[in-house]
Amino acid sequence: MTGFPRLPEDFVVGVSTASYQIEGAAAEEGKGPSIWDTFCAEPGRIRNGETGEVACDHYHRSKEDVALIRELGVDSYRFSISWPRVMPSGAGHVNAAGLDFYDRLVDDLLAAGVTPAATLYHWDLPQALQDRGGWQVRETAQRMADYATVVAERLGDRVGMWMPVNEPVVATMFGHAVGTHAPGLALGFDALPVAHHLLLGHGLTVQALRAAGVGNIGIASNHAPTWPATGSDADREAAESYDTLVNWLFADPVLCGTYPDELLASLMPGHADGTLAADLEIISTPLDWFGVNYYQPVPVGTPGSASASSPALEGAALPEGLPFEPRVLPDVPTTGLDWAVVPDGLHEILTTFARRYGDRLPPLYITESGCAFHDRPAADGAVRDPQRVAYHRDHLAAVARAIGDGVDVRGYFAWSLLDNFEWALGYEPRFGLVHVDYDTQVRTPKDSYRWFQEHLSARRRSGR
């Protein structure tokens, strides 16, 4: 196996998961339905009609999973809290069994010497709130802050890192613009208010957590370097508008309190009545750190080319009349999902953040990076995933290079601990360091798990 990149002594190495993707127990012990329960029940939404009803059955196996995390030797575990498990109808009544589950998980992690890192919203909105307009209405942002207060009062003394929202860009674009994720709305540009309300939910939650005495708060925001498909002026312009829409529309308001573009700002709620500025103040409440989820760079050109559209779009039809078109990156290695494997893209997005935001940028974390393949146990029971070992080695090395270039990066969370429910793509793509047999729920550490384990324990022995 190959070497582990040299990283600062106190650099955090972790693994991550999300509630709907691993927990199962979708209707147990008082949990209310989420928009993903609803979405999965609609025919044709999820590959092979799969659902998160059982998933990795983590709700009943969290002790076994914490043991896997402990044995892996990571510093931290990033998980998400299911809002409808804690508040079945999104507001008001609190489900004691739900809070108890996370309370035990946090205690078990601490007993294992692992720092709990909690995401409050990883896309599983209570269905009852969707019925009242979901993220299309401002009210949901306030409900999120109320929910965060309930969680902080219970877990605030023990959770080491907090992320209000995971990937507002994917929730906006997939969930509301093209409709391939729950709640399955294809609103095109009319999805922009959703972005604003998710960001407002983030900001109000940061304030609620601070008011509850909780610190070390960030965000887990997906970012992709955007590359013009060719050197033509038209492609350059197309790439720039895509970049604005998927990267800076989400990072600028959080880090600078502004939208990147006057036209986009003019389409946001509150623009006409002058309340937008006050919202942006809330959205830019200072963070202790900023988390980047990184998967792949995206080449972008003008619409109407012969080249197939980006695999990241999962076959979704884009709204008509867009000024850009995501493309496929030629001649690079790809994952089992045909996602491009480009470690340099991680170095690039980190240095781009440092340059764009300068002194306004808090320390960075990589809150997700990983790759899916169709892993399965060999005859001898081993799960050999040399491509995943190389993926994490090379992406950690890209982080080490960014640190060498002066970017303050404090940690890297591999996506994911376990193979899990990959949203609309179901169970076929396997992102885990641990293989899950969905018939038996048997967990089998892959070679990539062994690789992390070996190097993390060596790092620990040498005092890093």
Active-site residue numbers? 167, 368
Dihedral sign, CA of 8, 66, 369, 90?
A: negative
Q: Are 412 and 423 in contact (CB under 8 A)?
A: no
Q: Are 374 and 426 in contact (CB under 8 A)?
A: no
Residues in 286-305 that interact with ligand PNW by CB under 6 A: 293, 295
Nearer to ligand PNW, 170 or 407 (CB): 170
- State how far the alpha carbon of 313 is from the alpha carbons of 50, 233, 316, 317, 339, in Å: 19, 25, 5, 8, 10
Q: Closest Cα partner for 226 from 244, 212, 211, 209?
A: 244
- Please state the closest distance from residue 418 (CB atom) to ligand PNW, in A: 11
Residues in 311-330 that interact with ligand PNW by CB under 6 A: 312
Query: What are the tokens at 127?
Result: 């269905």
Task: Spell out, one character per residue from 365 to 394, where the chain touches ligand PNW: x when CB under 6 A holds, - when not.
Answer: ---x--------------------------
Q: Closest Cα partner for 294 from 170, 178, 114?
A: 170
> Does 130 contact ligand PNW by CB under 6 A?
no
Using Cβ positions, the residue closest to ligand PNW within the complex turns out to be 312
Q: Are 417 and 433 in contact (CB under 8 A)?
A: yes
Q: How far apart are CA 374 and CA 446, in angstroms?
A: 12
Q: How far apart are CA 257 and CA 155, in angstroms?
A: 29
- In the chain, the N- to C-terminal Cα span, in Å, equals 19
Q: Closest Cα partner for 395 from 461, 326, 459, 448?
A: 448
Q: Closest Cα partner for 420 from 433, 401, 407?
A: 433
Q: How far apart are CA 264 and CA 358, in angstroms?
A: 23
Judge residue 369's burial from the number of C-beta atoms within 10 Å of its C-beta, 0-12 exposed, 13-18 middle, 19 or more buried: buried
DSSP 317: P
Binding-site size for ligand PNW (CB under 6 A) equals 13
Query: What are the tokens at 184?
Result: 């399955």
Q: Which of 37, 65, 167, 235 binds ligand PNW (CB under 6 A)?
A: 167
Query: What are the tokens at 25?
Result: 């127990």
What DSSP line would sit under 214-268, residue for residue? ---B--EEE---EEESSSSHHHHHHHHHHHIIIIIHHHHHHHHSS-S-HHHHHTS
* Contact stretch for ligand PNW (CB under 6 A) within 42-50, 132-140, 166-174, 201-209: 166-174
Place of tokens 């509630």: 19
Q: Which of 7, 15, 18, 177 binds ligand PNW (CB under 6 A)?
A: 18
Residues in 418-447 that interact with ligand PNW by CB under 6 A: 422, 431
Residues in 100-119 that interact with ligand PNW by CB under 6 A: none
Nearer to ligand PNW, 109 or 312 (CB): 312
Single-letter residue type at 187: L
Q: Closest Cα partner for 123 from 132, 114, 112, 134?
A: 134
Contacts to ligand PNW by CB under 6 A: 18, 21, 166-167, 170, 222, 293, 295, 312, 368, 415, 422, 431
